[in-house]
Structure 1
Amino acid sequence: MLTHFNEQNRAKMVDVSHKKATERIAVAKSKVTMKPETLQIIKQGKMAKGDVLAVAQVAGIMAAKKTAELIPMCHPIFTTGIDLRFDFLSEQEIEIIATVKTVGVTGVEMEALTAASIAALTIYDMCKAIDPEMVIGPTHLAEKQGGKNGHFQFDGKTGDGR
């Protein structure tokens, strides 16, 4: 029987009470691709709605803290650290790197993925008036540490061979 289903084959939140609390860290990445002019306006801090990356930073942090409210089977987690970094990959791309930490009985992968996703959506929201063709993604778990499965590092290969 899968752990997310009860004896009636209905969804349930997994019981993690038997697990040992350990330090857990997850890093997720997302990317927003846009027109070069849009990225220049973001870098110069001249977007009409304000400082795009500052707002995206706060939105990502808030999103990580609310993950259990958004995703039905996620456990509420006491996060011990949340950080977002923005890297300019090219004249058209911003990469969002979200790192979430906890000491607990379950991981923070969903919190990191939610932080990166909401930060990307916030960038889109703040810039859509001048660049509605922005593209978000890919978004993925880049690294995970802690827990029974130990260390995971994204290798760039997906199930379809990409």
Structure 2
Amino acid sequence: MKGWVFLLVIGVFISCAQNKNDENIRELLLSQLKNTHNTQEWFAPTETALKGLTYEQAIWQDSTANHSIAELATHIVFWNEMNLKSFNDLEISDKAVKNDETFQVPKKDEWSITVKRLDSIQTEWKTAVKHADLVKIQDRAEEIANMSAHTGYHTGQIVYIRKQNGWWK
């Protein structure tokens, strides 16, 4: 009987340690989501990168056909939203998405809506990760980390365009 109790105690200890590791993963993912959204640590988050841009600045493109800030923002919105729907087990369109088609230029009256939509989706991501069960966090950790890196990458492009044009303080 003593051996069984010992194994039970070890099992509980291992389970608690695993839960602690899962909570650490949750906290790491939340930190990444905050850093790409509105908490400036090592790089500018999207909130800072897009703040104060005019529509004309957002749609500006150089002569090499690189993406505009507006196109980068709509691309980030699209993929963060698609990943959020998947994370929340919501239906996603069957239509095959061509990545190039996710870079859209919103109309002038849609630009501020695009910025607000990105803010809203990033806020929803933090809430979803904060409240998700640990199994889901464990299963989706790599996807969330990659999405955060993708957001950070494109936010860096936005900052570069702003610096290149003197629109960054």
TM-score > 0.5, shorter chain as reference: no
TM-score (norm 2): 0.32
- Highest CA radius of gyration, 1 or 2? 2
Write 1 or 2 for the structure with the bigger share of strand: 1
